[in-house]
């Protein structure tokens, strides 16, 4: 009977999350050649390929994906046993900033998975608008942030590109009104883009809600008091993409970007970014 090496399974898990042997090795503080040797040992053990080249990076094979379903449990159990029976306390903290639009179930699951696999890392999570998150990171207030932007600037880890859409109440009629009632704050990153699209289309519009957070906009839209702009693929109670048949102008896609700050928590931040990548890609695929 042969035994699985948990460190090797952890390395395969990192490659799956980062999509790159180089980045996975950096996150695990090991050399690329050492990680590649681990993958070779797994292939010899199972007689199956672990990695498949794709573009500039790699993806895990179908066999490795299936094997990781159980492998992640093994890694998490290993860490949980060590944490419990060595009376281990958090070794550090990871400060995470998430844009409000993406506080959805998949990201919540990514946070939970990271916490289970990293029981000695204390998580501190805050949400804010993308532009505020970037400013907060410059001030040293976050270790990793997830933003929605209309570009992928230098320093950003591009996760996915997702289409924006006009959202309104399920079965609502607000989108037929003129002037068109808008349930977005002028401070929303999507606001200026959406209003410019309406202006170009010659559609008169009016601000339909007072100042407030994203919850205020969504409640107003769900009550059919106006329409709002959201990325496709995000499930929102009482809201759905408006089936306007071309009556409203198309909207540009938005980029989902991650920024990782330099500092003592960089390794944990890069690891967490891998969990976010998997969650975001699942939503982008559904959209």
Spans of all domains in the chain = 1-88, 162-253
pLDDT at 224 (0 to 100): 94
pLDDT at 103 (0 to 100): 54
Residue 11 to residues 35, 37, 46, 65, Cα–Cα distance (Å):
7, 11, 16, 13
Higher-pLDDT residue of 90 and 123 is: 123
**Does residue 55 register a pLDDT over 80?**
no
Q: How far apart are CA 110 and CA 280, in angstroms?
A: 9
Residue with tokens 């970037």: 134
* Average pLDDT across the chain, whole number: 84
Q: How far apart are CA 59 and CA 65, in angstroms?
A: 9
Higher-pLDDT residue of 125 and 203 is: 203
pLDDT at 108 (0 to 100): 77
pLDDT grade, residue 285 (50/70/90)? Answer: low
Cβ-Cβ contacts under 8 Å for 98 (sequence gap 6 or more): 107, 125, 126, 127, 133, 145, 146
**Does residue 16 register a pLDDT over 90?**
no
CATH of domain 162-253: 3.40.190.10
Q: 1-88 domain in CATH 1.10.10.10?
A: yes
pLDDT at 33 (0 to 100): 92
DSSP designation for 37: H
Q: Which of 25-29, 42-46, 273-277 has the highest mean pLDDT?
A: 42-46
DSSP designation for 174: G
pLDDT at 165 (0 to 100): 93
pLDDT at 8 (0 to 100): 93
**Does residue 248 register a pLDDT over 90?**
yes
pTM: 0.64
Q: Both tokens of residue 279?
A: 């969650």
Q: How far apart are CA 258 and CA 145, in angstroms?
A: 6
pLDDT tens, 130-152? Answer: 888 999 998 888 999 999 888 87
**Does residue 176 register a pLDDT over 80?**
yes
**Do residues 226 and 181 make contact, with C-beta atoms less than 8 angstroms apart?**
yes
pLDDT at 212 (0 to 100): 55
**Does residue 223 register a pLDDT over 90?**
yes
């Amino acid at each position: 009977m042969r035994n699985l090496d948990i460190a090797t399974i952890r390395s395969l898990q990192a490659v799956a999350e980062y999509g790159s042997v180089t980045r996975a090795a950096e996150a695990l503080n090991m050399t690329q050649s050492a990680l590649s040797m681990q993958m070779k040992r797994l292939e010899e053990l199972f007689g199956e390929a672990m990695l498949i080249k794709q573009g500039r990076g790699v993806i895990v094979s179908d066999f490795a994906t299936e094997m990781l379903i159980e492998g992640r449990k093994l890694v998490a159990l290993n860490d949980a046993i060590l944490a419990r029976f060595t009376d281990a306390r958090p070794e550090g903290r990871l400060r995470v900033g998430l844009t409000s639009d993406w506080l959805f179930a998949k990201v919540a699951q990514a946070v939970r998975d990271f916490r289970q696999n990293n029981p000695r890392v204390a998580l501190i999570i805050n949400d804010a608008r993308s532009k505020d998150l970037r400013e907060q990171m410059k001030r040293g207030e976050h270790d990793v942030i997830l933003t929605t932007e209309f570009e992928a600037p230098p320093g950003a880890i591009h996760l996915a590109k997702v289409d924006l859409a006009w959202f309104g109440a399920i079965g609502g009629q607000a989108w037929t009104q003129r002037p068109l009632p808008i349930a977005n704050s002028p401070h929303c990153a999507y606001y200026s883009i959406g209003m410019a699209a309406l202006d170009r289309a010659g559609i008169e519009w009016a601000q339909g809600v007072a100042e407030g957070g994203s919850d205020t906009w969504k409640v107003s839209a769900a009550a059919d008091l106006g329409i709002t702009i959201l990325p496709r693929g995000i499930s929102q109670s009482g809201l759905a993409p408006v089936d306007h048949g071309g009556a409203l102008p198309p909207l540009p896609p938005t980029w989902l970007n991650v920024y990782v700050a330099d500092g003592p928590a960089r390794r944990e931040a890069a690891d967490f970014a891998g969990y976010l990548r998997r969650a975001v890609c699942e939503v982008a695929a559904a959209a």
